[in-house]
Structure 1
Amino acid sequence: MRHRILSTAISSNLSLVAIRDRSRQIGELFGLDNVQRTRFVTAVSEIARNAIQFAGGGTLTFLVGDATVADDSQCVVAEISDRGPGISNVEELLRESGRRQEASAGGVGIPGSRRMADGFFIHSEPGKGTTVTLEMFLPRGTARLSGRQLSERVDQLTRRKPQTPVEELEQQNREMMLTLEELRQKKADLEDADRRKNEFLAMLAHELRNPLAAISLSLELAEHGDRGHLERSIAVIGRQTALLSRMVNDLLDVSRITRGKVDLQTEVVGIAELVDGGVEMSMPELNRRGHEVVVECPDEPVFVRVDTARLKQVFNNIIHNAARYTLQPDTIQIRVVRADREVRVEVIDRGVGIEPDMLPRIFDLFTQAPTAIGRQDAGLGIGLTVVQRLVRDHGGSVEAFSDGVGTGTRIVITLPVVDPPATETTTVICPVNRAGAHRVLVVDDNRDSADALAALLEMHGYLCAVAYDGTAALQAAASFVPTVGIIDLGLPDMPGFDVAIALRKGCANASLTLVALSGYSGADYQNNASAAGFNQYFAKPLVIREFFSFLTTVGK
């Protein structure tokens, strides 16, 4: 939906001064930055100049509302219409625009204006005139204006004194200086981001090769060594696989979060439970480093409304960092303090600390401070970005404090407090080990994964059948009659969704439980899995403890 702001006539070259002035005022009024305003003013005046030159004039209308070329975005719109001879070769002109863009950074008229606008649309018929629509995106998070607020802004525009040609020229010069400075800063920021990206890719290659090398050598040792070597090799493989899983999960999280694809499942929970969960998740690293954790909480319970799993992940990331960057065995303090309608959680270590110039950038993506720690402990520089985005999504804030290298670090998370949940009477059902009660069909085109999972299930007393594609799964189900089907969604001959639908229709066991298994964990995949008839969704790599816990609930 779009709201009209004002219209003005395009009559002569002299009117271009007023048009540039109005375009600039509208850009300022709706929050366009210096570069955007310059682009907007230039594009509007170039199309208006075309209307004067080829059609003898026209009409310029400004609007504000939803953008055409981006979902959930707002924009200011300039619509320039004329009743001239029209353009008979619009498509050819636009193709020429693309070729000119590759050859030159300049350009005026339609080709140049198309490059300057965030959205560009043109409609023209020979003998019936031309309409060009230019869109410039408003800053993300801009609140939608009510009718009254929009009227107030239009009143501000109409009360402004028009500029003279000399004032317009002076204004252009000032804007050009500001825009050039902003472009220089953006260029420097892009160069810095590119440098950090290259450093990150180098780190990622190193971080991935280290655990893979350890796994490869451990497999060699297990194959040729004695039983003692086998046990040590299995332990190494377990630790390194967990490390790889953590890195992959961090990469997926930061990708989803930066694209706004995280769906939060919120509930009211005690802050102490979240902190305890973060400590529990960090115990392997804490124990490996020989650290002790001391938690101080208020006597009265403090409740917050959050996605429990995500906030436990937040505290895990921070505690894990505190453990990793404290080189000698030490005590890590966690203080929980309530202040009115907020709760503050402080994680304090006496580790390597943070350099003063790095402190403001510590939450930036791919940022890594130089430390004396071995490269194997430096991480990927994305954990704190995940922390900051998740905490902000919950209406909170996160800050980092350090007096410099060697002085330790204090990370402070602040969240809004909510009222405690209503007391409910619940019936506690103790899980019963139902090993042997289920017939499990494992379907995965990765033969090693399928065979390994089936072997683990059989070790726990389940009867298993294995299929490596969808067709074989449907054939096996006819004779095996599973009670549980574990199906990879990315099969070579048909999607796992189709396998699930066919099993639901053709399986003799009406109480069949279907489990989706996939390397994708987005909400779309989970929704599609549910629509196809799956009862549960697990992302790879499968956390065996959680999976077996789920199996104990099947059939209850």
Structure 2
Amino acid sequence: MSAPRPLPAPDFRRLFDATPSPSLVLAPDFTIVEVNRAYLTATHTTRDIVGRPVFEVLPDNPDDPSADGVRNLRRSLETAVASGRTDTMALQRYDLPSGDDGAFTERYWSFVNTPVLDPEGHVAHVIHRGEDVTEFVCQRRVGRARERAEGMEIDLFVRAREIREVNEQLRMVNLELDAAGRRSREEQRAKDRFIATLAHEVRNPLAAATAATELLSLDLSGGHPALSVLERQLATLARMSNDLLDGARAVTGRLELVRERADLRTVVDSTCADIRGLFAHENRTLDVRVPTEPVLVDGDRLRLAQVLTNLVSNALKYTLPGGHTTVRLTTERDEAVLRVQDDGIGFAPDQAAELFGVFMRAVPAGPRAPEGLGLGLSVARTLTELHDGTITAQSDGPGTGAVFTVRLPLPSSTTPELSLPKPPDHKRRELAILIAEDNADLAATYRTLLERHGHYVTTVHTGADALTATESQLFDVVLCDLGLPDLDGCTVARRIRSRPHGTKLRLIAVSGFTHPTDHARSRSAGFDAHLPKPLPLAELLELLDPVED
């Protein structure tokens, strides 16, 4: 008996090209390495897409602000590359370009991303497989005949079963990863909601306590030892509240910037002036050195000030009594360089990178650990990177102090030298002010503080009362909380603005919600300004200046 004839080796490229499921082979950086005919047919593309990034070939529809196909697919691909395991996506809308006129066609897909490992266990390629389920979705949407829908469901079920039979083990892993991913996303959303709500609720009593402290400082003209304690601890609570909000936004990538051409010297001077008083406690000192010439950067003044505040606060926490901190601003080649150096406890050199992690500290938590949440440096790093800059930490070891260095790019174009605004030369006049605030303690304290400065103040605690008050009496300024118990502050603002005299009032929103979307919402409702809680009296009086003669 003759030996059986050996079977020819399969041509895997031809097999891949003949696969009925639309498929791509991607490099780990998501560049298209190979594509099969089914994919080209489904997406109306040609083999010219090979060698191009997949998101360049298939971008989101720019005219659809809710389009999230690129973001969700990128997350799935990154998960597959990072874990070395298959990631299965839920039903996804991902519209396709339909021609040279920029139009897009609505499409729905079921995606599976499977990593291919090399002999060393590293991800060499990712097989991206998609099933176009648009017809099924459309049928379900318009309620077509039940028989056709059931037939499509059966067809999809058969296809899914065939895929599962190819590799049952991968399917089980996909299910486990998908369940874990859903739990993780739900837990993260719950944490975000909890942190934002907690920070908002903390701001109300914190604002009342801050205002009460300022009132005490007016009454106790000779000073009192307890006032400095209250001021330091309230400043710490305010910083922790901000860190809670910004820490959550940093983790979820929702921190945003409002860019302008800014002189870093004024940012450094004003920030250090605000925090210098805290260094007087236990004989610590703060030395600030800035150049004589402007140091211009394109950035968000408030966020840059927050970076410096977090670094200086960090130095203050880890510097022993009698210690010294130096803030130095210089320029090196095409960069602005900001250094914060202290002679505090320092840290092990190999710990430098870890300090910028979320909830990280230079010393373990314990009875002697400094106060704080361990979020300040993480937020500072995120803000610096949003400005296209870098931030590093350096220490020669415990007990040798530390240096934190921020480098920001200088703008390539030049602008005329900035001039500082001139202080107003007018005298303040007495204003009629309405305060709409449901926290009775905060409303009463602000009323007393403003009356001490010669203003006439009325307080109400609901949105309905605010509307009634502005009907019967014409005010110059309305300070309105956004979270009133009946009508929200934005509704109050819109109704006031709709009245004949509504444009003559100055409306100022005061709220613990400080996300950019909250600012945009209050601005669209008609507010002239949006201030965070707690609001120091000096900032409130400064804001009232523009409406005073």
TM-score range, shorter chain: 0.5 to 0.7
Kept after mapping to 1: 8 A contact 2:510/2:531: yes
Q: 1:135 to 1:484 in 2, by over 3 A?
A: farther
The answer for the alignment partner of 1:134 in structure 2 is: 111
Deviates more, 1:537-546 or 1:380-389: 537-546
1:360 aligned partner, one-letter code: A
Aligned-residue offset at 1:403: 1.8
Q: Please give the residue correspondences for 1:137-152 in structure 2 after superposition, counting only pairs within 5 Å.
A: none
Aligned-residue offset at 1:371: 5.4
Kept after mapping to 1: 8 A contact 2:478/2:508: yes
Equivalent in 481, 487, 493 of residue 488 of structure 1: 481
Kept after mapping to 2: 8 A contact 1:402/1:410: yes
1:551 aligned partner, one-letter code: L
Separation in 1 of the partners of 2:502 and 2:74? Answer: 59
The answer for the alignment partner of 2:88 in structure 1 is: 117
Separation in 1 of the partners of 2:359 and 2:468? Answer: 48
Residue 447 in 1 paired to residue 440 in 2?
yes
Kept after mapping to 1: 8 A contact 2:381/2:391: yes
The answer for the alignment partner of 2:510 in structure 1 is: 517
1:271 aligned partner, one-letter code: L
Aligned-residue offset at 1:369: 3.1
For residues 121-144 of structure 1, what are the alpha-carbon distances to aligned partners after superposition, in whole Å with 9 as ceiling and x for unaligned? 59xxxxxxxx96316599xxxxxx
The answer for the alignment partner of 1:430 in structure 2 is: 424
Separation in 2 of the partners of 1:435 and 1:258? Answer: 46
Aligned-residue offset at 1:384: 0.5
Separation in 1 of the partners of 2:496 and 2:349? Answer: 60
Q: 1:271 to 1:230 in 2, by over 3 A?
A: closer
Secondary structure class of the residue paired with 2:348: coil
Equivalent in 405, 411, 417 of residue 410 of structure 2: 417
Kept after mapping to 1: 8 A contact 2:427/2:548: no
Q: Normalising by the residue count of structure 1, what TM-score does the alignment of the two structures yield? A: 0.63
Q: Normalising by the residue count of structure 2, what TM-score does the alignment of the two structures yield? A: 0.64
Aligned-residue offset at 1:352: 0.6
Kept after mapping to 1: 8 A contact 2:87/2:113: no
For residues 271-303 of structure 1, what are the alpha-carbon distances to aligned partners after superposition, in whole Å with 9 as ceiling and x for unaligned? 332332332232133221422333444564432
For residues 319-341 of structure 1, what are the alpha-carbon distances to aligned partners after superposition, in whole Å with 9 as ceiling and x for unaligned? 22112211131332334342211
Equivalent in 512, 515, 527 of residue 520 of structure 2: 527
Kept after mapping to 2: 8 A contact 1:444/1:467: yes
Kept after mapping to 2: 8 A contact 1:69/1:119: no
Q: 1:369 to 1:435 in 2, by over 3 A?
A: same
Deviates more, 1:412-421 or 1:464-473: 412-421
Aligned-residue offset at 1:73: 2.0
Aligned-residue offset at 1:69: 7.4
Secondary structure class of the residue paired with 1:73: helix
Separation in 1 of the partners of 2:492 and 2:28? Answer: 56
The answer for the alignment partner of 2:152 in structure 1 is: none
Separation in 2 of the partners of 1:372 and 1:354? Answer: 15
1:312 aligned partner, one-letter code: A
The answer for the alignment partner of 1:26 in structure 2 is: 26
Separation in 2 of the partners of 1:368 and 1:281? Answer: 24
Q: 1:493 to 1:294 in 2, by over 3 A?
A: closer
Kept after mapping to 1: 8 A contact 2:393/2:403: yes
Aligned-residue offset at 1:29: 5.9
Aligned-residue offset at 1:548: 0.9
Aligned-residue offset at 1:440: 0.8
Residue 470 in 1 paired to residue 463 in 2?
yes
Q: 1:446 to 1:74 in 2, by over 3 A?
A: closer
Residue 365 in 1 paired to residue 342 in 2?
no
The answer for the alignment partner of 1:541 in structure 2 is: 534
The answer for the alignment partner of 2:261 in structure 1 is: 268
Q: Please give the residue correspondences for 1:390-401 in structure 2 after superposition, counting only pairs within 5 Å.
A: 390-401=383-394
User: How many residues end up aligned between the 2 structures?
Assistant: 416
1:315 aligned partner, one-letter code: L
Separation in 1 of the partners of 2:389 and 2:239? Answer: 25
Separation in 2 of the partners of 1:495 and 1:295? Answer: 44
Aligned-residue offset at 1:396: 0.8
Separation in 1 of the partners of 2:114 and 2:453? Answer: 58
2:493 aligned partner, one-letter code: A
Kept after mapping to 1: 8 A contact 2:339/2:403: yes
The answer for the alignment partner of 2:63 in structure 1 is: none
Q: 1:537 to 1:433 in 2, by over 3 A?
A: farther
The answer for the alignment partner of 1:334 in structure 2 is: 327
Kept after mapping to 1: 8 A contact 2:294/2:417: no
Secondary structure class of the residue paired with 1:453: helix
2:110 aligned partner, one-letter code: T
The higher relative CO (CA closer than 8 Å, separation ≥ 6) is in: 2
Separation in 1 of the partners of 2:385 and 2:465? Answer: 47
Equivalent in 71, 74, 97 of residue 73 of structure 1: 71
Kept after mapping to 1: 8 A contact 2:283/2:323: yes
1:73 aligned partner, one-letter code: R
The answer for the alignment partner of 1:347 in structure 2 is: 340
2:469 aligned partner, one-letter code: A
Give me the identity figure in percent.
29
For residues 203-251 of structure 1, what are the alpha-carbon distances to aligned partners after superposition, in whole Å with 9 as ceiling and x for unaligned? x99xx9xx99xx8xx99xx9xxxx9999444544333222211110111
The answer for the alignment partner of 1:162 in structure 2 is: none
Q: Please give the residue correspondences for 1:284-295 in structure 2 after superposition, counting only pairs within 5 Å.
A: 284-295=277-288
The answer for the alignment partner of 1:504 in structure 2 is: 497
The answer for the alignment partner of 2:453 in structure 1 is: 460
Residue 255 in 1 paired to residue 248 in 2?
yes
Residue 317 in 1 paired to residue 288 in 2?
no
Q: Which stretches of structure 1, 4 residues or more, deviate above 6 A after TM superposition?
A: 227-230, 424-427
For residues 22-69 of structure 1, what are the alpha-carbon distances to aligned partners after superposition, in whole Å with 9 as ceiling and x for unaligned? 96832546169xxxx9xxx9xx9xxx9xxxxxxxxx945586424697
Report the RMSD for the aligned CA atoms in angstroms: 4.8
Separation in 1 of the partners of 2:68 and 2:260? Answer: 32
Separation in 1 of the partners of 2:493 and 2:22? Answer: 60
